[in-house]
Amino acid sequence: MKVITVASLKGGVGKTTLSIFLSLALRNAKKKILVVDLDHNNNLTDFFLRDEEVETIQGKSIGRVLKGNLSIDDSIFKSSLGVDVIASVPELSQIAFELLFDTAAPLRFDSMLRDLKYDFVLIDTPPAISFELSCGLHVADTVLCPVGYSRWNIQGYSILESKVERAGGNKIFIGVPSAVTDKRVETLRDGGLSLTKTVIHKSEVIATASDAGKPLKEGSPSADEFKILAKEIAKI
Ligand SMILES: Nc1ncnc2c1ncn2[C@@H]1O[C@H](COP(=O)(O)OP(=O)(O)OP(=O)(O)O)[C@@H](O)[C@H]1O
Ligand SMILES: [Mg+2]
């Protein structure tokens, strides 16, 4: 099993979008995938579990697992898109606050996850240093940081990179150029950031699909980008 955590200290850079479409691309490559929503804004949950009742999601959310009130097996939803999901709800922010000084919580989360049988686990995280982000970084083998168009990219990237280093365990930390143009990617590479070869270009098709809770059309340029990224990430 490989655990991939998607993280950035900047909001709105494409973390959830990357978590969604990379997980679907890996699923299309016949891999068994679990996504975990560690963001109380729960956009990842919303994408995969549109047809589930709020009460059902509430009763099986990640916060209950982290608190020790629910087994991880019982928290897993089977989504209609073939990816399994551990959901988040707004209540996670309160639970995370209560667990802030429980240093064993990320360790418990790690051992629960490692007992599961998946090829890849992808974890979406909130854009701030927090209990949720610490949990996501602690359990990660690879941390993907979407980098887009902002003059604050390098600062946010460097702070996160040092947090990943401090989390220990020889984790791989790499940026994924997201929602960018080629010209911008060159500037980022020249700035010394370690980035994937694959670029996820800015595309209305991606924004529309993620809003609609739909996968990208197979063979479309955007779907191909995620397919190539999936291959690149699987090799890391
Ligand atoms: N490659 C892309 N092309 C066009 N739009 C994109 C692309 N990637 C993301 N977006 C859009 O940008 C917005 C922010 O993306 P997303 O929600 O994935 O960011 P995020 O980093 O998860 O945000 P937050 O920090 O709030 O959780 C969304 O409306 C999404 O559809
Ligand atoms: Mg998000």
Domain ranges of the chain: 2-235
Q: pLDDT tens digits, residue range 194-232? A: 999 999 999 999 999 999 999 999 999 999 999 999 999
> How much is the pLDDT for 149?
77
Ligand 1: nearest atom to the Cα of 222: 1
- The strand order across the sheet containing 84-86 reads 76-78, 84-86, 33-37, 120-124, 2-6, 142-147, 172-180, 200-201
Q: Is 202 left (phi over 0), alpha (psi -120 to 50) or beta?
A: beta
Residue to substitute in 210, 211, 226 for testing ligand 1 pocket (most ligand atoms within 8 angstroms of CB): 210
Q: What is the mean pLDDT of residues 77-86?
A: 98
Residue to substitute in 6, 16, 123 for testing ligand 1 pocket (most ligand atoms within 8 angstroms of CB): 16
Q: Is 145 in the pocket of ligand 1 (CB under 6 A)?
A: no
Q: Which two tokens stand for residue 56?
A: 């059902």
Q: How many of the other CB atoms lie within 10 Å of CB of 167?
A: 18
| Amino acid found at 72 | I
Of 189 and 95, the one with more pLDDT: 95
Helices 15-28 and 221-235 cross at an angle (nearest 10°) of 80
Quote the CA–CA distance of 189 and 53 in Å, as a whole number: 44
Q: Is a pLDDT exceeding 90 seen at residue 151?
A: no
Element (H, E) at 121: strand 120-124
Fold classified for 2-235: Rossmann fold (3.40.50)
Quote the CA–CA distance of 161 and 114 in Å, as a whole number: 24
Banded pLDDT at 182 (limits 50, 70, 90) = confident
Q: pLDDT tens digits, residue range 23-62? A: 999 999 999 999 999 999 999 999 999 999 999 999 999 9
Q: pLDDT tens digits, residue range 101-134? A: 999 999 999 999 999 999 999 999 999 999 999 9
Q: What is the mean pLDDT of residues 134-149?
A: 95
Of 151 and 22, the one with more pLDDT: 22
Q: What is the mean pLDDT of the chain?
A: 95
> How much is the pLDDT for 225?
98
Q: 33-37 and 2-6: which strand pairing?
A: unpaired
Banded pLDDT at 143 (limits 50, 70, 90) = very high
Q: Is a pLDDT exceeding 80 seen at residue 153?
A: no
